[in-house]
Structure 1
């Protein structure tokens, strides 16, 4: 019984990871700017404030407010090499986290324009 339960749990988690990967890739592909965030994270909030200051349109997924947030965060590490939030993509390219986007303030307007976000 234990072995069967263990195999079933592994299959379910593999299925959940596959669904999370599909979801994350779709968000990145369909949005000029995608921010994977947590609602309580001060660095995430600083990123969103910066994007707001440019009037940018962006998709923010609050990983702490969705049931598959943990799986998506695991998948983001696979996709980008970064597990921490915010995890930012502009024009389907991984930008990094808050310190990375803050360091690009001078050319951020151009990046956002290329992505069709402003």
Structure 2
């Protein structure tokens, strides 16, 4: 059974072309958001350390993706991973295509 918070995560991912679940103090989160900023794309960030249900949402992300850490990045409704995954997508040229597809 999908938890209430997993449903919330799925709704956020569906409603936003690029969704980043983050923590405000996390250097990897900052790097990922900076990479997206440099691509000049709109992204929605949810700082889990700044909301009451942050831990619940992080557990739900794990339920859905098997990833415990942040950032947890979704592009076009698909989980792409964390910062290192995002940097690899950028390096191999796939990031632009994923972004384009997310906004089409």
Q: Give the TM-score taking structure 1 as reference length.
A: 0.81
Give the match's secondary structure for 1:61.
Answer: strand
Tell me, in whole angstroms, the C-alpha distance in 1 between the residues paired with 2:29 and 2:95: 17
Structure 2 counterpart of 1:113, from 96, 100, 103: 100
How many aligned positions are there?
101
* TM superposition outliers: structure 1 runs of 4+ over 2 Å: none
Equivalent runs, 1:23-102 vs 2, <5 Å: 23-102=8-87
Gaps of 5+ in 1: 1-16
Structure 2 gap segments, 5+ residues each: none
Hey, which of these two has a bigger chunk of helix by percent? 1
Looking at CA atoms only, which structure, 1 or 2, has the larger radius of gyration? 1
Structure 1 residues 33-67: Cα deviation after superposition (integer angstroms, max 9, x where no partner) = 11000000000000000000001111110000011
CA RMSD of aligned residues (A): 1.4
